[in-house]
Amino acid sequence: MTENELATIIVDTAFKIHKQVGPGLLESAYQAILAYELKKAGLQIETEVPMPMVYDGIQIELGFRADIIVEDKVIIELKSVEKIAPVHYEQLLTYLRVADKRLGLLINFGEVLIKTGISRVVNGLPEGNVHSTSQRVRRQS
């Protein structure tokens, strides 16, 4: 399955969850529900994955923790805040670079309308493999 095929499933699942429970829960609750639903859909997922990184020739065992990684291809960064800040996009782009992944989804369950709370963050995904699942697209070549 491609990154975009996975993204479609993830976005559809986020819509379903938001419709059922709405905004206002803790990020960890949304993470547990999303992980459950993605597993139920037959996807291989990992949660709270410690991601090592190399800095100045040394390996740092915990550069960050990925909220959810789907099929070892897509990083999902979850938020449950009133408004996403520009640094959240940059944070996910850094995660993608460190993990050598091409696509990330920033999902803010704190939004009243979930469609305004889902953004793609792209790290070198080939142009032919990019389509919009949200209103904001960040590309890094």
- C-alpha–C-alpha distance, residues 32 and 36, integer Å: 6
| Cβ atoms within 10 Å of 82's Cβ, excluding its own | 10
Mind listing the pLDDT tens digit of every residue in the chain (141 residues)? 999 999 999 999 999 999 999 999 999 999 999 999 999 999 999 999 998 888 899 988 888 899 999 999 999 999 999 999 999 999 999 999 989 999 999 999 999 999 999 999 999 877 544 433 443 433 333
The tally of domains found in the chain comes to 1
Residue 120 CA: distances (Å) to CA of 2, 81, 84, 115: 14, 17, 13, 12
Q: What's the mean pLDDT when you consider all of the chain?
A: 88
SS3 per residue for the chain: CCHHHHHHHHHHHHHHHHHHHCCCCCHHHHHHHHHHHHHHCCCCEEEEEEEEEEECCEEEEEEEEEEEEECCCEEEEEECCCCCCHHHHHHHHHHHHHHCCCEEEEEECCCCCHHHHEEEEECCCCHHHCCCCCCCEECCC
State the residue range of the domain holding 120: 3-138
CATH code of residue 133 = 3.40.1350
pLDDT for the residue numbered 127: 56
pLDDT for the residue numbered 138: 38
